[in-house]
Structure 1
């Protein structure tokens, strides 16, 4: 007799029907039954993070938003300061000084040609002017300066094929000029002659040399300056725009960060019934100070860039150019006396170049003398005609009149204007002697270094330009040094301060979240 104790199907304790439960799948169902639960917990956690419905979740979300805003603030500061650093580097350390060096190239080349003309003019009379030996020493000095300036120009050209070509053409032109000038000087040494009466072969060779210098080498040297100055101008406009706009961007991101931190602080105070969270409060104060400081420094750096460019670089370049052209017109005076057949040409070149230095609206040299006298007298009396007036002085010195207001600049410019006027007066006397047929006295006046003599007045004028140059170069260096100093300090402080403020936020939030564990 069987004793089957198995309960009937459906009764309590009876085995399940395999057809209903899937037979052998029972064990697998037991293993997988935990996965949906885990997924559910993960989704609920994500939901609480994205759509806070509890105090800890809200605190986490607000903390994340605040730290993200802080990170955005410091990222903005870092980007803006990178642009400020790049602008100061190009203007103050790379392209800017190299552009000034290319302007010095024009000066050195002009003086090289002027010294050759002086040597050929004095002939056997070594007591005139600097004398043959000293003039040749100065020629060699200027040649060395020109070579150094060409090295700077080559570095600045980099891989730019157009600038590389201009540099190479200028170098080639310098080489050809030196060969022609050397031949003219050698012919001069082989032929003793009275001052102002060089033999035809000497004049012929020098004409070739000076035409090469004036028509090919000097224009190419000036093109180098213009091309390279465009690098500085473009960099300045781009980077300063970034830095000025950056001050506003820093202010905006800082306000957002402070508002989010304040919201977090208020929520913590209400939710946990504590009026003050010292760490969050410190983070708010720190973020506010960083925002104000960074925006202020950004604006200050934009001002430094403007000072370096407008009161420094632009004026340094203008004064360098005025000195170079001045050296050219000083050489034109020697060429005027050296080559009577081309005297009218050199006189016109002298007028055109003088107009570049200080422009007044005239069409002949005598009228230029008179109008310069009147213009400088008006300038000294403070009676400066408005822009567009035909009596307003322009040119490199005329522009200096309105170029800035740095300490000592008005007095230095007064000296430049006064010495330029007396220099032009000495030129008028020299040409008057030539018109009267007294060439020898004209040559002596040209080479003389005393008051009222041409070389003496030119030296005083050139020295006054050097002093003006030194003032503007000082303003340039000061602006760059100030900008570098602030950038260096903030470059170190930005990442450290960001970590400290983020740490304060976390330190303020963590104890409150711990209360819910």
Structure 2
């Protein structure tokens, strides 16, 4: 037993003596293990960030855009039905009737396509099925409206009630759900980026310290010049860590700015367009309902909402800050907020004139002012307003797509770059100490 204890003590003393191979082996092993830990963690985290960017670009953002587009298309469908009811049996307005029917059919196809896309999100399956049930009821009421002749106004009231009380709330729930998933996708990506930066800086700094300490120890202990292999490994580590942190920071900043300056305004503009179409339909509904004051009041609520924000009515959506808050931002279109608001105010003036004509018993003139295609007529002024909003909406969408493409490009190859660089570092460390071990043989 004493012999065993003495042998153990001898081995321990040799292991801690700085001139022994055990000390050199300890340095090299610790350095290689740190490099391996950095390689595995950084590669996995970079791959995860890349995957989360794809989820945002290929799933979360498109789903949010689809839900917003669905809400808009439904609002315009009802507006076109109102136009068809208003222009029915008026030969002089046959052109408007045909245009309204064509637009209704186009929006109907758009709704069907959006519903099919929405079904791809498993978490929204029940919401989509509920919406499809309301949509079937709405279309039945629309068919009854278009075939009811003199009773069309009554059936249209039922159709628009289904839209506002059932269909649009279901679409809003779907849109809110997809928007929440988008926010969660951004939050998860941000958390992964934080871990990746922490790993890159923490383990990267530890690896650099070990490489430099090993280099200095070898130079002092063996009285030789610095090892080219360790110098190369140190340079490779620096060349990996700095770009990795820069890439993570750059793509995070680019996508965050794109979300705030492009994607969020794009979604808000889609809501604003839906509200504007629904408000424009209130002008037609006012005439269809024989001057029911509710539709004039409803238009005023929506118009005020578009101009200044707030609630757009008991059955309507809302937009925070109104058009100025979502039209403003980066200069991505030839239209500014003042132009857009001016164009909307022109339509509001048209609405007030039409309401005044209708209340004065001049129904034919009111319908003509609503359906006319000259400047100063409601149809023209609304199309003029909508063209500006549509242009800005498309510009916001394009800008976000470009930012997403930039982020994907910046991240290209990064799950494998740490493997290549740190794999070489792991190879160079044993190579640098191999000759020192040979001196003890």
Residue 173 in structure 1 maps to residue 99 in structure 2 = no
Q: Residues of 1 paired with 2:238 and 2:392: CA distance?
A: 43
> What is the CA deviation profile of residues 156-202 of structure 1, one whole-angstrom value per residue up to 9, with x for unaligned ones?
2x1x3xx32221111011111111111110123xxxxxxxxxx3x22
Question: Which residue of the partner structure matches residue 73 of structure 1?
Answer: 38
For the pair 1:400 / 2:337, whether they are aligned, the reply is: no
- What is the aligned partner in structure 1 of residue 316 from structure 2? none
Give matches, 1:280-359, under 5 Å: 280-340=230-290, 343-359=292-308
> 1:48 and 1:418, CA in 2 relative to 1: closer, same or farther beyond 3 A?
farther
The verdict on how the C-alpha distance between 1:93 and 1:361 changes in structure 2, with shifts beyond 3 A counting, is closer
Does the 8 Å contact 2:14/2:20 carry over to 1?
Answer: no
Q: Displacement, 1:396?
A: 3.9
Of 114, 130, 148, 1:187 maps to 148
Deviation at 1:203, TM superposition (A): 1.5
Which secondary structure does the structure 2 equivalent of 1:465 belong to? helix
Change (3 A) 1:44 1:322: farther
TM-score (norm 2): 0.91
Q: Encode CA deviations 1:292-349: one digit per residue, 9 max, x unaligned.
A: 11111111121123123222321111111111111111111111111125x2111122
The answer to whether the 8 Å contact 1:412/1:468 transfers is: no
| Shift, 1:130, TM fit | 4.2
Counterpart-to-counterpart distance in 2, 1:246 and 1:363? 44
Among 476, 481, 487, which residue is 2:405 paired with?
481
Higher deviation after alignment, 81-90 or 114-123: 81-90
Q: CA deviation at 1:418?
A: 2.9
| Aligned partner of residue 148 in structure 2, secondary structure | helix
Residues in 2 aligned to 1:363 and 1:104: alpha-carbon distance in whole angstroms: 18
Equivalent residues in 2 for 1:143-182, closer than 5 Å: 143-156=108-121, 158=122, 160=123, 163-182=124-143
Report Cα offsets for 1:354-411 as digits up to 9, x if no partner.
23323268999xxxxxxxxxxxxxxxxxxxxxxxxxxxx9534232256x4x343584
Counterpart contact for 1:318–1:396, Cα < 8 Å: no
CA apart distance, 1:476? 0.9
The structure whose Rg is larger is 1
Residues 359 and 398 of structure 1 are in contact (CA less than 8 Å); yes or no, is this contact kept in structure 2? yes
Distance in 2 (CA, whole Å) between partners of 1:424 and 1:84 is 48
Distance 1:68 1:363, change over 3 A: closer
Supply the distance in 1 between the matched residues of 2:435 and 2:337 (Cα, whole angstroms). Answer: 68
Unmatched tracts of structure 1, length 5 or more: 1-35, 189-198, 365-392
**Paired position in structure 2 for 1:138:** 103
The number of residue pairs the alignment matches comes to: 435
Aligned to 1:247: 197
SS at match of 1:266: helix
| SS of match in other structure, 2:376 | coil
For the aligned residue pairs, the C-alpha RMSD in angstroms reads 2.8
Moved more, 327-336 or 79-88: 79-88
When residues 98 and 54 of structure 1 are mapped into structure 2, their CA distance, relative to the original with a 3 A threshold, is same
Q: Is the 8 A contact 1:153 1:167 kept in 2?
A: yes
Change (3 A) 1:47 1:214: farther
Deviates more, 1:282-291 or 1:84-93: 84-93
Q: 2:220 is matched with which residue?
A: 270
The SS at the match of 2:412 is: helix
Q: Flag the 1:410–1:149 CA change in 2: closer, same or farther, 3 A.
A: same
Q: Secondary structure at the match of 1:491?
A: coil
SS of 1:170's equivalent in the other structure is helix
Higher helix content, 1 or 2: 2
2: CA distance between counterparts of 1:433 and 1:48? 106
Decide whether aligned partners of structure 1 residues 299 and 130 sit closer, same or farther in structure 2, where only a CA change above 3 A counts. Answer: farther
Determine if the alignment matches structure 1 residue 115 to structure 2 residue 80: yes
Give CA deviations for 1:239-285 in whole Å, capped at 9, x if unaligned.
21331453244222211111110000111111222222111001111
**Counterparts in 2 of 1:46 and 1:145: CA distance versus 1, 3 Å:** farther
Deviation of 1:53 (Å): 4.7
Which of 23, 36, 58 aligns to 1:93? It is 58
Q: Is the 8 A contact 1:355 1:395 kept in 2?
A: no
State whether residues 319 and 396 of structure 1, in contact with CA within 8 Å, keep that contact through their aligned partners in structure 2.
Answer: no
Corresponding residue for 2:440? 516
TM-score (norm. length: structure 1): 0.78
State whether residues 117 and 335 of structure 1, in contact with CA within 8 Å, keep that contact through their aligned partners in structure 2. yes
How far off its partner does 1:498 sit?
1.6
Give yes or no for contact 2:134–2:166 (8 Å, CA) kept in 1.
yes
CA deviation string 1:477-506 (max 9, x = no partner): 111111111222212312111211211222
